[in-house]
Amino acid sequence: MNLDIGGQNNRNDQLGKWKIVDLHDGADFQFNLENECFPFADESVDNIYSSHCIEHIEPDRLRPVFFEMFRVLKRGGKVRIVVPSFVKGVFYYFFFPNVLRRKMMPRLNSNTPDTKMSRLSSWFYTEFNKNNGTPGHKTAWDFHLLKTYLEEAGFKMVRKCTLHRCSEVFKGKDNPAYRAFSLYVEAEKL
């Protein structure tokens, strides 16, 4: 079984090859991973994919989530995490501020003026989304932070990837529209 964590809003189950884990109705497994253990046995999951999900988790709940990913993943399994990239956000802020105004960029907080800094700030913190019940962004990510969480949980061979450079099992999972502002990281359970 392959898990796509947080994949309901951008569902790409590849004809059932991936099981969607999400807060929202219609997910194959509907639960809040911020508050609950994964409802899977130890080493019962082949691979885990998560795109633009873990930045919505409260910082004090991140370690348990990564430890749960490690617990349920089979030996030899891979995890691919895609999050908004702090480095890309700062790069756009200084060199290409118009990119921060793109529709696909993280949403602007409803109570802040529409400025370059408030757009950059939304990469790190946004309010609760009243439209779909999704928590806002809670954490900013760079490779070092994501690598640290993965290694603390027990993952090995943590590496930065790109939209098109990924393990075979993840081919076709990434949303190309997120490329401009995403960090892609893969790791393995050996």
Residue-level pLDDT at 146:
98
76 Rama sector, left if φ>0, alpha if ψ -120 to 50, beta otherwise: left
Q: Are strands 182-188 and 73-84 parallel, antiparallel or unpaired?
A: antiparallel
Residue-level pLDDT at 127:
75
Parse the chain into domains and list their residue ranges.
2-85+140-188
- pLDDT tens-place string over residues 92-101: 999 998 888 7
Q: Mean pLDDT across the stretch 148-166? A: 96
Confidence of residue 104 (pLDDT cuts 50, 70, 90): low
Is the pLDDT assigned to residue 108 strictly greater than 80? Answer: no
Please give the residue that has the higher pLDDT: either 136 or 20: 20
For the chain, the 3-state helix, strand and coil shares in percent, each to the nearest 5, are 30, 25, 45
Residue-level pLDDT at 136:
81
Kindly report whether the global pTM for this prediction surpasses the value 0.75: yes
For tokens 């409803």, the residue is 110
Q: DSSP alpha helices (H): ranges in 97-179?
A: 116-121, 143-153
Is the pLDDT assigned to residue 86 strictly greater than 80? Answer: yes
Q: Mean pLDDT across the stretch 176-182? A: 89
Per CATH, which fold does 2-85+140-188 belong to?
A: Rossmann fold (3.40.50)
